[in-house]
């Protein structure tokens, strides 16, 4: 398997009024060619920061990359100049943002916004830059490809004339315009209604298999993960606490946080008058993150060692990694197997 993106020991901090927020605290990730990796976690766990680091689109006045590297096809993205990076963004790595209403320029027609990407990066059959006429034609073609009705008319309209679902299609068209190798989708369906979400997820999957693009999808919705992902990384408190193939996470999860997340959404079989299983408490403050496992305060299994010492990553199988002291061979506690 070819590894297309490899993140090694990524640490990212933001300097804020309250102090240094350690948003990502040592993340290792691999994305294989033609793979779909879902990064799951709650708000503030560092999932978006990790993915946006690949694109290097943070506000550099407040962001500090403390350590680590991101290899894209063998190239270390942190070593590239801004100019070189611009040739990768939108060209080799595409991005779909959460809220299509704010991701597009409100004062530019949708067609022109898609054409802009093509004018900047696109080449014709003779490796020549595209003329604006060709770019516009390709933009319309892309709108048609993402199933926009009457694309010629739509291309000349402004974002406010589109519905949320149609806009997200336009954003997907834009991200796919230069046939990137990697597509990063940051909560692509969170702002959409369920019936539209189903359409958009289908479209992303279709585009992915058609153009053989590797996908990183960031989401907090385990239903979306189940629908689209092949591999999953669960983040909590700036760390990946568990990662593995989709079956490892859904059927063999070994971290109490992953288990808690799965439990709190399994409303299907629960008896009606029984309270839902919830995870009490709130995520840790990353200005002053705990020295040990970040989940300690909310974990029903927490031991003394958890508070002060960071659990090592244990390999449960070739694909399945988990950070929990309960996996230590000397630990007498075992994660209770609950039926979902």
Partner 1 sequence: MSSGEVFINTEHLTRDFRIGKDTLRAVDDVSFELGRGETFGLVGESGCGKSTLGRLLVRLYKPTSGKILYKGKSVANLNKRESFEYTKDVQMIFQQPYASLNPRMTIGEIIKEGMRIHQLGSAKEMSERVSGLLNMVGLNAEHANRFPYEFSGGMRQRAGIARALAVNPEFVVCDEPISALDVSIQAQIINLLKRLQSELNLTYLFIAHDLSTVRYISDHIGVMYLGSIVEVANAEELNINPLHPYTQALISAAPIPDPAKENERVRIMLEGDVPSPINFGAGCKFAGRCKFANDNCREEAPALRKLPSGHAIACHRMEEINMVE
Indicate which single residue of 108, 226, 287, 291 sits in contact with partner 1 (rule: CB under 8 A): 226
**Dist CA 71 CA 4 (whole Å):** 8
Select from 14, 17, 20 the least CA-distant residue to 65.
14
Work out whether 195 is an interface residue with partner 1 (CB under 8 A).
Answer: yes
- Judge whether 181 and 92 are in contact, CB under 8 Å: yes
Residue 32 or residue 91: which is nearer to partner 1 going by CB? 32
266 lies in the site for partner 1, by CB under 8 A: yes
What SS3 class is residue 266? Answer: coil
Distance CA 193, CA 335 (A): 36
> Residues 4-43 vs partner 1: string with x where CB under 8 A?
--------------------------------------xx
Residue window 43-72: x/- pattern of binding to partner 1, with contact defined by CB under 8 A:
x-----------------------------
> Is residue 275 a contact point for partner 1 (CB under 8 A)?
yes
What is the arrangement of strands in the sheet containing 93-96, beginning at the earlier edge strand?
A: 93-96, 182-186, 214-219, 36-40, 231-236, 239-245, 321-323, 313-315
**According to the binding rule CB under 8 A, does residue 261 interact with partner 1?**
yes
Backbone angles phi, psi at 326, to 5 degrees: -65, -15
Regarding 161 and contact with partner 1 (CB under 8 A), the answer is: no
CA distance 220 to 291: 25
Asked whether position 292 contacts partner 1 by CB under 8 A, the answer is no
User: Which residues form the interface with partner 1 (CB under 8 A)?
Assistant: 42-43, 149, 163-166, 193-199, 201-202, 220-227, 229, 246-247, 250, 260-262, 264-268, 270, 272, 275-280, 282, 340
């Amino acid at each position: 398997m070819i590894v297309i993106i490899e993140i090694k020991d990524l640490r990212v901090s933001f300097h804020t009024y309250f102090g240094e927020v350690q948003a990502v605290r040592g993340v290792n990730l691999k994305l294989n060619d033609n793979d779909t990796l879902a990064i799951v976690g709650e708000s503030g766990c560092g999932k978006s920061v990790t993915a946006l680091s690949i694109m290097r689109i943070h506000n550099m006045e407040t962001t500090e990359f403390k350590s680590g590297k991101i290899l894209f096809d063998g190239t270390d993205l942190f070593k590239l100049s801004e100019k070189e990076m611009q040739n990768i963004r939108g060209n080799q790595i595409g991005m779909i943002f959460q809220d299509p209403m704010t991701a597009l320029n409100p004062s530019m027609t949708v067609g022109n916004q898609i054409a802009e990407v093509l004018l900047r990066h696109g080449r014709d059959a003779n490796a020549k830059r595209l003329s604006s006429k060709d770019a516009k034609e390709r933009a319309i073609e892309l709108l048609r490809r993402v199933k926009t009705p009457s694309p010629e008319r739509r291309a000349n309209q402004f974002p406010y004339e589109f519905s949320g679902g149609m806009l997200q299609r336009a954003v997907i068209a834009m991200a796919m315009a230069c046939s990137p190798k990697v597509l990063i989708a940051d909560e692509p369906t969170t702002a959409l209604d369920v019936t539209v979400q189903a359409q958009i997820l289908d479209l992303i999957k279709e585009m992915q298999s058609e153009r053989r693009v590797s996908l990183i999808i960031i989401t907090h919705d385990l239903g979306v993960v189940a629908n689209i992902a092949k591999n999953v990384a669960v983040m909590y408190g700036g760390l990946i606490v568990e990662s593995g193939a989709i079956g490892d996470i859904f059927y063999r999860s070994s971290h109490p946080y992953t288990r808690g997340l799965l439990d709190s959404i399994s409303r299907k079989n629960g008896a009606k008058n029984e309270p839902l299983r919830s995870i009490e408490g709130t995520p840790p403050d990353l200005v002053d993150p705990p020295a040990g496992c970040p989940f300690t305060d909310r974990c029903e299994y927490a031991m003394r060692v958890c508070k002060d010492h960071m659990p090592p990553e244990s390999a449960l199988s070739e694909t399945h990694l988990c950070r929990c002291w309960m996996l230590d061979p000397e630990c007498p506690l075992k994660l209770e197997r609950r039926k979902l």
